Amino acid sequence: MLIAVVFLLTTAGVTMAQNGQNNGQFINITVSAEVQAVVEIETRANINLGRVSPGQESITVNPREDPGAGVLRVSGSPGMLFRVSFQEQRELIRVGGGSPLVFVYDVSGAQTENQFLSEPITLENRDLQMSEDGEYFFWVGGNMQLEGDILGQYEGEFTIEIDFI
């Protein structure tokens, strides 16, 4: 049984004004899920990358420590085993054309809703297990370099696949 969860990424008005002024714009990433099995997936929080400042070279959201990390709750059968895979790096495409930005994802997970106790989820094909309550939580963050002309709105997606064993 395979479930694919898609994170839709959009940036709203990423602006960096000339002369060192910040127009107070934010980057927003929304999260949604496409369920292909009888398992519930709930988006508890979208990724919040915060404010972009003039001269800022990168944005980072640590999934184990940052309150801006996206949160997903997966529920199924207690003790159910599953594997997770995802594409670690995705391009955010600038609406209207221009250079894309590359977002590198960092994911952590835990059987309880405790972000600070979550463990990194790597691209290795490792087995995970639902809690005794039939839950598992994922926190999604990452980073991107802000190079060149980044003015504009960007869109992209992130997919995490959950394969139940």
pTM: 0.74
Specify which residues 103 forms β-bridges with: 90, 144
CA–CA distance, 92 with 115 (Å, rounded to integer): 26
The domain in which residue 158 lies consists of 2-164
CB 155 within 8 A of CB 30: no
Tally of structural domains, the chain: 1
Q: Is residue 41 predicted with pLDDT exceeding 60? A: yes
CA–CA distance, 28 with 37 (Å, rounded to integer): 28
CB 89 within 8 A of CB 142: no
CB 143 within 8 A of CB 61: yes
Q: Between these two residues, 87 and 37, which has the higher pLDDT value?
A: 87
Q: How far apart are the two ends of the chain, measured CA to CA in Å?
A: 7
Q: For 94-136, write each residue's pLDDT tens digit.
A: 888 888 888 899 999 999 999 999 999 987 767 899 999 999 9
CA–CA distance, 23 with 139 (Å, rounded to integer): 29
CATH of the domain at 75: 2.60.40
